[in-house]
Amino acid sequence: MTVASALALCLPALSARGDSPRTDARLLLAHVLGRERAWLLAHDDSRLSARQSERFRQACARRAAGTPVAYIIGRAGFFGREFAVDERVLIPRPETERLVEEALAYLRGRHAAAVLDVGTGSGAIACTIAAEDPDAAVEGTDTSAPALAVARRNAERLGVRARCRFLRAEIARAPAARRYDLVIANLPYVPSGALPALPDPTAYEPRAALDGGPDGLRAYRKLLAVAGNLLRSDSLLLMEAAPPTAAALAALTAAALPDAAVDVRSDYSGMERYVRARLRG
């Protein structure tokens, strides 16, 4: 079986998903062969071994059943870098890059800023901030020990382990006796009644990392209850939310931090996506 024939055989099954079958097929085959996708275009007559053909068939079957490509190949792109991901963590989303851009703009020019990433998951936010701002000291917390193992692996891979400390902690107890210049959070924010079901690809992700309670704001209420004890003067709090709940989160934030300037900001597609609270010194 050649590269071209393998892709052709895989496409019908993936097309039934209605996503991006050609891109998915190339990503899966490149992963199986240990090659870049560009290599496939230049070598469409190269032959697969029997073992490679079987691995590709299995990967296509998993994708056709709904498993996200990122879980099959074990990585996902975020802010120009690749992060290791598996079923223990959420797959980083492009809309979260806007949150990171806002954080980096705030940190620009600040010396040795202390950053807390609450609900770090794969560590994509924490590691990206550490990589983009070599002067920042970043802590990431999560309630999930398996997720923290993925985050530590990503910090090692990206060479930022010395400036990224990951701790297991409940939101309301994370971490005591410290204050931060920046607190950033992408906590579970899907209302329980709107949680996806199979075969929706997001249904393969950890439910605990998605379920935000009846109104999608349960985890953020816990964070806001302690936010005043986490933030320094002249600091910033950034929280990603679902567009339908962003206004409610902003109201909760204004009540919890009455001295902060609070507003809702949009992602790249113009959807209300995150709440920004700026505390002045």
Of 74, 73, 103, residue with least CA distance to 89: 74
For the domain made up of 3-65, the CATH class stated in words is mainly alpha
Q: Give the mean pLDDT of 209-230.
A: 95
Cα–Cα distance, 141 to 166 (Å, whole number):
6
In this prediction, residue 115 carries a pLDDT of 97
* Identity at 167, one-letter amino acid code: L
- Please provide the DSSP assignment of 17-34 as one string: TTS-HHHHHHHHHHHHHT
Topology agreement, domain 3-65 and domain 90-279: no
Q: Mean pLDDT in the chain? A: 93
The pTM (predicted TM-score) of the whole model is 0.93
pLDDT grade for 162, boundaries at 50, 70 and 90? very high
pLDDT confidence of residue 174: 62
All structural domains of the chain with their residue ranges? 3-65, 90-279
Where is average pLDDT lowest: 6-20, 125-139, 144-158, 232-246?
Answer: 6-20
Q: How far apart are CA 176 and CA 17, in angstroms?
A: 46
- Band of residue 141 on the pLDDT scale cut at 50, 70, 90: very high
Provide mean pLDDT across the span 139-159: 97
Asked whether residue 17 carries a pLDDT value surpassing 90, the answer given is no
CATH architecture of 90-279: 3-Layer(aba) Sandwich (3.40)
